[in-house]
Amino acid sequence: MKNKWLAVASVLLILFSLSAVAADDSYRAMEKRVVEKTLSNGLKVIMVPRHDAPVASFVIYADVGGVNEEQDATGLAHIFEHMAFKGTDTLGTKDYAKEKAAMDREDEAFLALRAERLKLNPDPEKLKTLEENFKKAGEEAQKWVETGEYDKVLEREGAQNLNAFTGFDQTVYFYSMTSNKLELWAALESERFINPVLHEFYKEKDVIMEEKRMGESSPMGRLFDDFFPLAYKAHMYRSYIIGNMEDLKNITREQAMAWFRKYYCAKNLTAVIVGDLDPEKAVPVLEKYMGRIPSGEKPEPPISVDPPQRAEKRMIMEDPSQPFLVIGYHRPAVTDKDDAVYSAISDILGGGRSSRLYKSLVKEKKLAMEVQAMPTFEGEKYPGLFTIICVPNKGVKNEECEKAIYDELKRIGSEKVTEDELKGVKARAKTRFLSGINSNLGLAIQLAMAENVRGGWRELFAQLDKIEAVSQDDIKRVSKEMFIRNNRTVAMIETQGEEE
Partner 1 sequence: MKKLMIVSVVLLSLSLCFQGAEKKPRPFETVKVPPLNPIKNPVFEKTVLDNGLQVYFFEKHELPLISLTAMIRGGGVDESKAGQAELFGEVLRSGGTKSMSGDKVDEFLENIGAEIETYSGDAAVTVRAKMLRENREEVIPLFVEFLVSPAFPEEKIQLAKTQMNSQISRRNDNVNGLARREFMKLVYGADSPYASQLEYADVEALERIDLLRFHDKFFRPEQTIIAVVGDFDTPEMKETFGKLLGGWKNGTIAPAFAVPNIPEPKASVSFIEKNDVEQSTILLGHLGLRLDDPDYPAVNMLSEVLGGGMASRIFTQVRTLKGLAYGAGGYMMPAYDHKGAFYFYTSTKPESTREALQTILDEIKKVRTGKVTDEELTRARDGYMNSFAFEFDSTEKIARRMLLYKFYGYPEKFNEELRGKIEKVTADDILAAAGKHLFDDKLAVLVVGKKEVRDQLGSFGSVGVIDITIPDQPVKEVLPEPTPETMKKGTELLKAAAVKVGEKQLTDLKNFSFECTTTMKTPMGDFSVKQKGLFVFPDKSRVEIESPMGKIEEVVKGSEGYRTMNGRKKVIPESQLKEAKRSLYLSLAGANILRDVISGKLQGQYIGPKEIDSRKAELVVVTIENAPVKLYIAEGMLIGVGTRQNTHEGPKDLVEVYGDFRVVQGLLVPFVRRTFDGGNVSEQTFYSSAALNVEPQAADKEALGLK
Contacting partner 1 within 153-182 (CB under 8 A): 153, 155-160, 162, 176-181
Member of 63, 99, 106, 200 binding partner 1 (CB under 8 A): 200
Q: Tell me if 203 contacts partner 1 by CB under 8 A.
A: yes
Q: Tell me if 55 contacts partner 1 by CB under 8 A.
A: yes
Member of 36, 204, 225, 400 binding partner 1 (CB under 8 A): 204
Residues binding partner 1: number (CB under 8 A)? 95
Q: Tell me if 206 contacts partner 1 by CB under 8 A.
A: yes
Question: Between 391 and 447, whose beta carbon lies closer to partner 1?
Answer: 391
Question: Between 93 and 489, whose beta carbon lies closer to partner 1?
Answer: 93
The total of other beta-carbon atoms located within 10 Å of residue 287's CB is 17
Q: How far apart are CB 120 and partner 1 at their closest, in Å?
A: 27
Q: How far apart are CB 489 and partner 1 at their closest, in Å?
A: 23
Instruction: Give yes or no for a contact between 167 and 379, defined as CB atoms under 8 angstroms apart.
Output: yes
Q: Tell me if 427 contacts partner 1 by CB under 8 A.
A: yes
**Measured distance CA(242)–CA(225) in Å, rounded:** 9
Q: How far apart are CB 206 and partner 1 at their closest, in Å?
A: 3
Q: Tell me if 23 contacts partner 1 by CB under 8 A.
A: yes
Question: What are the helix and strand counts (H, E) for the chain?
Answer: 19, 11
Member of 101, 111, 112, 184 binding partner 1 (CB under 8 A): 184
Three-class SS of 8-50? HCCCHHHHHHHHHHHHHHHHHHHHHHCEEEECCCCCEEEEEEC
Question: Between 253 and 430, whose beta carbon lies closer to partner 1?
Answer: 430
For residues 236 to 275, the per-residue mask of contacts with partner 1, x marking binding by CB under 8 A and - elsewhere, is: ----------------------------------------
Q: Tell me if 317 contacts partner 1 by CB under 8 A.
A: no
Q: Tell me if 280 contacts partner 1 by CB under 8 A.
A: no
> Footprint of partner 1 on residues 441-500 (CB under 8 A)?
none
Q: Tell me if 428 contacts partner 1 by CB under 8 A.
A: yes
Q: Tell me if 353 contacts partner 1 by CB under 8 A.
A: yes
**Measured distance CA(380)–CA(7) in Å, rounded:** 41
Three-class SS of 139-178? HHHHCCECCCHHHHHHHHCCCEEEEEEECCCCEEEEEEEE
Contact region with partner 1 (CB under 8 A), list: 337-345, 363-371, 446-454, 482-490: 363-371
Q: Would you give the end-to-end CA distance of the chain in angstroms?
A: 69
Q: How far apart are CB 225 and partner 1 at their closest, in Å?
A: 11
Instruction: Give yes or no for a contact between 346 and 294, defined as CB atoms under 8 angstroms apart.
Output: no
**Measured distance CA(243)–CA(212) in Å, rounded:** 8
**Angle made by CA atoms 139, 145, 146, in degrees to the nearest 5:** 140
**Measured distance CA(69)–CA(411) in Å, rounded:** 39
Q: Tell me if 85 contacts partner 1 by CB under 8 A.
A: yes
Q: Tell me if 36 contacts partner 1 by CB under 8 A.
A: no
The total of other beta-carbon atoms located within 10 Å of residue 409's CB is 23
**Measured distance CA(116)–CA(37) in Å, rounded:** 51
Contact region with partner 1 (CB under 8 A), list: 59-67, 208-216, 335-343, 467-475: 208-216
Instruction: Give yes or no for a contact between 109 and 133, defined as CB atoms under 8 angstroms apart.
Output: yes
Instruction: Give yes or no for a contact between 372 and 389, defined as CB atoms under 8 angstroms apart.
Output: yes
For residue 17, give Cα distances in angstroms to 9, 13, 22, 426, 491. Answer: 11, 6, 9, 10, 42
Q: Tell me if 75 contacts partner 1 by CB under 8 A.
A: no
Residues, the chain: 500
Member of 13, 97, 118, 214 binding partner 1 (CB under 8 A): 214
Contact region with partner 1 (CB under 8 A), list: 251-259, 360-368, 446-454, 456-464: 360-368
Member of 119, 143, 363, 403 binding partner 1 (CB under 8 A): 363
Q: How far apart are CB 322 and partner 1 at their closest, in Å?
A: 5
Q: How far apart are CB 173 and partner 1 at their closest, in Å?
A: 14
Question: Between 55 and 450, whose beta carbon lies closer to partner 1?
Answer: 55
Q: Tell me if 17 contacts partner 1 by CB under 8 A.
A: no
For residue 209, the number of C-alpha atoms closer than 13 Å in the C-beta half-sphere is: 13
